[in-house]
Amino acid sequence: MKQSQLLAVTLRESPGDVEAASHRLLLRAGYIRQLAAGIYTYLPLGRIVLRRIEQIICEEMDRTGAQEVLLPAMQPAELWQESGRYEVYGEELIRLQDRHQRDFVLGPTHEEVITDLIRSEVGSYRQLPVTLYQIQTKYRDERRPRSGLLRGREFLMKDAYSFAADEETMQQAYMRMYEAYHHIFERCGLDFRAVEADAGTIGGEGSTHEFTAITEAGEDTIVVCTHCEYAANLEKAESASEAFVQSSGSNGTIAFTGEEIMIPHTTDIDTSTLDADSIASRSPEHFHTPGLRSIAQLTESLSITPDRIIKTVIFLADQEPVAVLIRGDEEINEIKVKNYLQADELIIADMETVQQVTGAPAGFVGPYGLRHARLTWLADDSILSLQNAISGGNQEDYHYRYVDVQRDLLHQLQHIGDFRNVREGDRCPRCREGSIHFQRGIEVGHVFQLGDKYSAAMNANYIDSSGREQPIRMGCYGIGVSRLVAAIVEQHHDEQGICWPASIAPYLVHLIPISVRDDQQMRIAMELYDRLYQARCEVLLDDRDERTGVKFKDSDLIGIPLRIVIGKGAAAGEVEYVERSSGIREQMTVEGVIRRIGQQR
Ligand code: ATP
Ligand code: MG
């Protein structure tokens, strides 16, 4: 390709309010342009990079035996009503009507459409297993589309779906995809980890992994062990302590009895420093804590550490109130709470609800004395050994002290378990030798065992060998193709611009004659251009009549892996060979450079 003909306008200045390096560089180097928030045009260079990634993905998908399809982006709302997601998908789902006022959506993902296809095409166990994939534009009206291609509202995804007769075959399909994803991301030159992810309320143990590109620019936190292979996303990461389980009642909840909330007798005691050991045998005492609503206020005013406080947080799980207790120095992991309760939705209760459910204002709610409330009580096991603890007093401006969890609270808790976020430095839950540390990353792929979630809801069944009808077992597997472009740039760039890995670079070689008016330079440039072209090597020739500085700056920005500069040495048949990412440069003959490029491929 001759650069004089390429539509690739580079920008000297960084566009305003662009944070992510990938966003800035892809705009500046002329790969993408924004049409609207989260919606981008791919210019010729951007399109080539997408194609290279698509090519790698297709090769690896085909190798697993998956077959390529192309499903419609515009999908009838009825399918989404059938699966139940028309309601629960929320505002990310783009809804529209046709001229007959029939409801449609623009597909954010394709489980519904593909399940519909399979239920009509597959009837017998003889047709299973089968895996289908596509690379296609997806639509999600993200609340905060940002960082360019990292979070778009219109973006390119590879999605695959496996269909199997039983659990075992479903897992085999999953493992094949899991391995294929490793190959794909390795070939793209990505530094990534496959991390255990949260399967929500439908998946079993180990049934879902996210593939995370490691970069400080990522919005996800992953948890890795310093000693073993353990890696998980923060939501999923287990805490190392033994879970202590205690259950009361058959379904683990206490029904609302309608009785008054009882608040034990109040004694006003001064708020002077609490002495730890001598009071172990004392029963909980109400004491005056005017205005001390938060952990920080309590620790400061009472001169205590937060690990002496029992924090009580009220949630609404599918509209039912739930209280979660945790030690004051720990954080509640809402996903763990939500999964334990098998809830579709978990939100923190607003101030009014807290008052209504507990009879106390937010900031002063505590477990002691609240046992008649219409609440499910869950506790993180971090509170288990607390003996001389402080908890909310269930009355404005009051707390309890001398609370002993085993003695005073155990009987009212439905479940004690792991409801907290892990922290850096925690012991690894898997090997118990290493310690946990955090890394930032970008989720570029996701593999998921769905089981019969969609097939049961949408009646996608097959007839087994004994003539019985069974639900088809599914898996789904996504890769954010356009997000991957940005993730690669996050990992492969410097101050001057992008440094593409050779496998996905738009061109392998950038030929730069210093002066297009110099016949000798142009003769060598054209010779190299033709010979490399013959050898099926992708070459971009900068044949623009521009200043050298401009050409080099553009070349650095665009990020082609190898640069051949044809300058003064041309008279002696010599050119300069430069590697974009390492900065290595060498004078070589034309023959030498052709040989070297051959070795790079
Ligand atoms: P996220 O948590 O980042 O919103 P997700 O869990 O919604 O991702 P999936 O539904 O698993 O994502 O989609 C499959 C893949 O599509 C993701 O792994 C990611 O790489 C990509 N992806 C998801 N949302 C976007 C988006 N808004 N823009 C670009 N890529 C996306
Ligand atoms: Mg999302």
User: What one-character-per-residue DSSP string does 61-90 give?
Assistant: HHHHT-EE----SEEEHHHHHHHTHHHHTG
- pLDDT given at position 344: 85
H-helix or E-strand containing 220?
Answer: strand 220-225
Q: Is the shortest distance between the CB of 286 and ligand 1 below 6 Å?
A: no
Determine the distance from the C-alpha atom of residue 532 to the mean position of all C-alpha atoms in its chain, rounded to a whole number.
41
Question: Which CB contacts under 8 angstroms, 24+ apart, belong to 345-350?
Answer: 345/316, 345/317, 345/318, 346/315, 346/316, 346/317, 346/322, 347/315, 347/316, 348/313, 348/314, 348/315, 348/316, 349/314, 349/315, 349/316, 349/321
Q: Check if the beta carbon of residue 212 is closer than 8 Å to that of residue 220.
A: yes
Distance 16 CA to ligand 1 centre (A): 25
Q: Which atom of ligand 1 is nearest to the CA of 211?
A: 18
Q: Is the shortest distance between the CB of 157 and ligand 1 below 6 Å?
A: yes
Q: Is the shortest distance between the CB of 151 and ligand 1 below 6 Å?
A: yes
Q: Check if the beta carbon of residue 54 is closer than 8 Å to that of residue 135.
A: yes
Q: Is the shortest distance between the CB of 158 and ligand 1 below 6 Å?
A: no
569: tokens are 């040495």
Distance 141 CA to ligand 2 centre (A): 10
Q: Which atom of ligand 1 is nearest to the CA of 109?
A: 10
532: tokens are 């490399």
Protein residue with its CA nearest to atom 2 in ligand 1: 443
CA angle 247, 252, 256 (to 5 degrees): 130
Coil, helix or strand at residue 53: helix
Considering every ligand atom, which ligand is closest to the CA of 156? Answer: 1
Considering every ligand atom, which ligand is closest to the CA of 141? Answer: 1
Q: Is the shortest distance between the CB of 179 and ligand 1 below 6 Å?
A: no
Protein residue with its CA nearest to atom 11 in ligand 1: 446
Q: Is the shortest distance between the CB of 418 and ligand 1 below 6 Å?
A: no
594: tokens are 């052709």
Considering every ligand atom, which ligand is closest to the CA of 483? Answer: 1
Rg from Cα positions in the chain: 30
Question: Which CB contacts under 8 angstroms, 24+ apart, belong to 330-333?
Answer: 330/380, 330/382, 330/420, 330/421, 330/423, 331/420, 331/421, 332/380, 332/419, 332/420, 332/421, 333/234, 333/235, 333/419, 333/420, 333/421
Q: Is the shortest distance between the CB of 142 and ligand 1 below 6 Å?
A: yes
Protein residue with its CA nearest to atom 8 in ligand 1: 443
Distance 77 CA to ligand 1 centre (A): 22
Protein residue with its CA nearest to atom 29 in ligand 1: 151
H-helix or E-strand containing 323?
Answer: strand 320-327
124: tokens are 């017998």
Q: Is the shortest distance between the CB of 443 and ligand 1 below 6 Å?
A: yes
Number of Cβ within 10 Å of residue 372's Cβ equals 16
Residues of the chain with pLDDT under 50: 206, 242-273
- pLDDT given at position 404: 94
Q: Check if the beta carbon of residue 77 is closer than 8 Å to that of residue 86.
A: yes
Considering every ligand atom, which ligand is closest to the CA of 482? Answer: 1
Protein residue with its CA nearest to atom 18 in ligand 1: 445
- pLDDT given at position 205: 52
8: tokens are 């690739």
Q: Is the shortest distance between the CB of 445 and ligand 1 below 6 Å?
A: yes
pTM, rounded to two decimals: 0.85
Among 143, 157, 450, the mutation site with the greatest number of ligand 1 atoms within 8 A of its Cβ is 157
- pLDDT given at position 541: 98
CB neighbour class for 425 (10 Å; exposed up to 12, middle 13-18, buried from 19): exposed
Coil, helix or strand at residue 104: strand
Phi, psi (degrees; rounded to nearest 5) at 466: -100, 15
Distance 155 CA to ligand 2 centre (A): 12
Among 193, 446, 477, 482, the mutation site with the greatest number of ligand 1 atoms within 8 A of its Cβ is 446
Considering every ligand atom, which ligand is closest to the CA of 39? Answer: 1
Among 209, 220, 236, 443, the mutation site with the greatest number of ligand 1 atoms within 8 A of its Cβ is 443
Q: Is the shortest distance between the CB of 478 and ligand 1 below 6 Å?
A: yes
